[in-house]
Amino acid sequence: MCGISGVLGEGGAAQAAQRMSRALRHRGPDGHAAEAVADAGGSPCGVLNHERLAIIDPSPAGRQPMHTPDGRYTIVYNGEVYNYAALRDSLAAEGVEFAGHSDTEVLLLGWARHGRAFLERLRGMYAFAVWDRDTATAVLVRDPFGIKPLYVAQAGGTVLFGSEMRALLATELVGRRLSQPALRSYLATGSVAEPESIVEGLEMLPAGTLAEVRVRGGRARLMPPSRFGEALPPPPERLLRDPAEAAGTVREALLDSVRHHLVSDVPVALFLSGGIDSSALVGLAAEACGRGLDTFTVAFTERAYDEALIARKVAERFGTAHHEMVLTAADLLGELPGAFAAMDQPSMDGVNTFAISRAVQQAGIKVVLSGVGGDELFCGYPSFSRARAVAQVGRLPGGALRGAARLARRLGGIRGEQVALLLREASTPARAAYWASRTLFGGAQIGALAGCGGDPPLPMPYESHPLLQRVTRYEVEQYMRNTLLRDSDVFSMAHGLELRVPFVDRAVAAAAVAVDDSLKLRRGLSKPLLLSAVRDLLPNEVWDRPKRGFTLPFARWMRGELRDEVESVLHSPGVERLGLNPAAVRAVWNDFQQRRAGMNWSRPWALYTLVRWAGANGIEAAGGHVAEPELAHEAVG
């Protein structure tokens, strides 16, 4: 795990590369290296940077940029390949010789020998760039789940890439203009869907793709990306319908994944919220490696949100060294400057990850496991049960559905638009349920706020797959990828902490999609398939309770200790600098304070986050004056 960046092509490569490196220094507290690359004739072609967080083979043999023995290939790499030991043995059997014991060397030499085909054998999270001296070409690659980020930009004859958007902005080769399509995406869901970024001219390399950068005559050109892998395999022809067989398959895959994710040359800890997912990981980790684990929990003084007691029982059961971090509204206020300095794109989520990651890092831990992905793969969100209900409604005559949708929309408000969407799209229930569940502001609200209304874009419906698997694909490829994984990476790495996600694993995904829908939902029981696989590990307090997502007490705090902070930003000139309608923004805030139906805390918080983040980074609507950033990103972490 680390930070990577690079400048390829003409125009001040060394200076731009230095700025990128400084902007990413928080990701690599264990060392920095930069190296100029050239073509076969020795002509300069760019600079590659690496900020090192040493996890596997922390010796000098694991340093990057790393070269093949013949000097042809050079790699900079961010992530972990968990099956690197098996791949190393396989390559050694082919006659490949190794100088060290890092997964970086396995990835580099595997690429040199097998090229693109080697990607099919990787199990892990990764974003990397490989420079080929002989062809004067770099290949940029990102893992199929999109766990690790990689931003790219074409700036004249120069191509920039980096682990965080701030690195590309720091070069001053890219403007700080707000992207209108990305703004619409953010207002619709609370995060920006890839490949867009909130800044014009910057993009996220799509998950599961690779892109070539060709340098010719000193000018670099970024080629369109091509796909090499998908996050989720297609469902098999024979789905598992026997409960015992399905539970056994899932248990085996989970234990295998946890064992792989525990591979490290430094201690590994776990986030423990008291929910099913994180509690299951603690139990599986204890089964995989015995005692000696550290667990970390966020506790609240608000009893309704506090799960510290349940987390404590799980920790006691497995004998972990347990740490509790009490977070109050005053604490959150104190964390906000650092959180916004770390936030790479605006996101309505993730501040909790920033806060607990600081506590883990201060305890001397470099690696932590998280339960992200459990809800997506094992049907833990309301969108799954909602999809079944919509499928029933979808059997009504089309005319009746369209009439009911028009009536719902005339009722107005966010809930009216959500109901209208469910009715109008009832013929594709998975898609309708997902977007009704995840929509932050509907088309009419987006139009009022930013003048770019219309219904949110709906991706492909996956209609050939079973219903709940369709919802899983939306949750994995939209919400998890664009919000949870992105926030997990940037807010943990702000403190030089590697966050691993054992549920987000190709073997676990294959086990989940192999199970029939009938075993995945049960009234009154959250994630029955997952529970049946790990129930023997969990105290009764974990599984015998309703599903509740981990969140901060935002609603209460925003009407109390955080009210002045949020209100001051939503009434500031920064609203107009982004091209937002101040009256519409104030209406959202007022509706929340007055507890209007459908106006929960997430909507004003998303607007607050957008305005404050944009001010901190000097981002404005096209045609406006670009202000200097208010926060010093280089001080993050």
Q: Nearest to residue 187, comparing CAs of 622, 580, 616, 628?
A: 580
C-beta pairs of 244-249 under 8 Å, 24+ apart in sequence: 246/514, 246/515, 246/516, 246/519, 246/529, 246/532, 247/529, 247/532, 247/533, 248/533, 249/511, 249/514, 249/515
DSSP bridge pairs for 78 = 127
pLDDT at 240: 97
Q: Nearest to residue 69, comparing CAs of 118, 105, 26?
A: 105
Q: How many Å separate Cα 622 from the centre of its chain?
A: 27
Q: What percent of the chain has pLDDT over 70?
A: 91
pLDDT at 548: 52
Crossing angle for the helix pair 329-342 and 351-362, nearest 10 degrees? 90
- Say which residue the tokens 């120069």 belong to: 158
pLDDT tens, position by position, 53-111: 888 888 888 899 999 999 999 999 999 999 999 999 999 999 999 999 999 999 999 99
Query: Does the CA dihedral 571-574-577-578 come out positive or negative?
Result: negative
Q: What tokens were used for 417? A: 């638009």
pLDDT exceeds cutoff 90 at 459: no
pLDDT at 633: 35
- Say which residue the tokens 């807010």 belong to: 491
pLDDT tens, position by position, 581-630: 999 999 999 999 999 877 889 999 999 999 999 999 999 997 644 334 44
Which carries the bigger pLDDT value, residue 546 or residue 390? Answer: 390
Q: How confident is the model at residue 566 (pLDDT cuts 50, 70, 90)?
A: very high
The stretch 442-470 carries a mean pLDDT of 79
The stretch 320-347 carries a mean pLDDT of 88
CA distances from 233 to 144, 250, 473, 532 (A): 11, 15, 10, 23
- Phi/psi of residue 67, nearest 5 degrees: -115, 155
Give the CA angle between residues 310, 313, 317 to the nearest 5°: 145
pLDDT at 57: 82
Q: How confident is the model at residue 414 (pLDDT cuts 50, 70, 90)?
A: low
pLDDT at 545: 59
Confirm if 88 and 110 have CB atoms less than 8 A apart: no
Q: What tokens were used for 459? A: 């991706």
pLDDT tens, position by position, 429-451: 898 889 888 989 988 889 999 98
pLDDT exceeds cutoff 60 at 249: yes
- DSSP characters over 590-606: HHHHTT-TT--THHHHH
pLDDT exceeds cutoff 70 at 460: no
CA distances from 583 to 563, 568, 637 (A): 18, 14, 37
Q: How confident is the model at residue 1 (pLDDT cuts 50, 70, 90)?
A: low
**Which amino acid makes up residue 333?**
L
Q: What percent of the chain has pLDDT over 90?
A: 68
Confirm if 368 and 468 have CB atoms less than 8 A apart: no
SS (H, E, C) 274-291: CCHHHHHHHHHHHHHHCC
Residue 195, preceding bond cis, omega within 30 degrees? yes
Q: What tokens were used for 636? A: 């993050």
Q: How many Å separate Cα 387 from the centre of its chain?
A: 24
Rounded Cα–Cα distance for residues 367 and 261 (Å):
10
Q: Nearest to residue 198, comparing CAs of 184, 216, 210?
A: 184
pTM for this one?
0.93
pLDDT at 478: 93
> What's the mean pLDDT when you consider all of the chain?
89
DSSP bridge pairs for 215 = 220
pLDDT tens, position by position, 204-233: 999 999 999 999 999 999 999 999 999 999
Give the CA angle between residues 438, 457, 584 to the nearest 5°: 70
pLDDT at 625: 41
- From the number of C-beta atoms within 10 Å of its C-beta (0-12, 13-18, 19+), residue 224 rates as exposed
pLDDT at 596: 86
Give the CA angle between residues 383, 511, 480 to the nearest 5°: 40
Q: Nearest to residue 319, comparing CAs of 253, 372, 272, 374?
A: 272
pLDDT exceeds cutoff 70 at 303: no
Crossing angle for the helix pair 382-393 and 429-438, nearest 10 degrees? 130
pLDDT at 635: 29
pLDDT at 634: 33
The stretch 166-190 carries a mean pLDDT of 94
Query: Does the CA dihedral 402-408-413-419 come out positive or negative?
Result: negative
Which carries the bigger pLDDT value, residue 393 or residue 591? Answer: 591
Q: Within the chain, how many helices (H) and strands (E) appear?
A: 26, 18
Rounded Cα–Cα distance for residues 93 and 175 (Å):
50
pLDDT at 310: 86
- From the number of C-beta atoms within 10 Å of its C-beta (0-12, 13-18, 19+), residue 275 rates as buried
pLDDT tens, position by position, 482-530: 999 999 999 999 999 999 999 999 999 999 999 999 999 988 788 999 9
Give the CA angle between residues 230, 233, 237 to the nearest 5°: 150
Give the CA angle between residues 85, 89, 90 to the nearest 5°: 115
pLDDT at 547: 52
Confirm if 608 and 569 have CB atoms less than 8 A apart: yes
The stretch 20-38 carries a mean pLDDT of 93
Rounded Cα–Cα distance for residues 77 and 57 (Å):
14
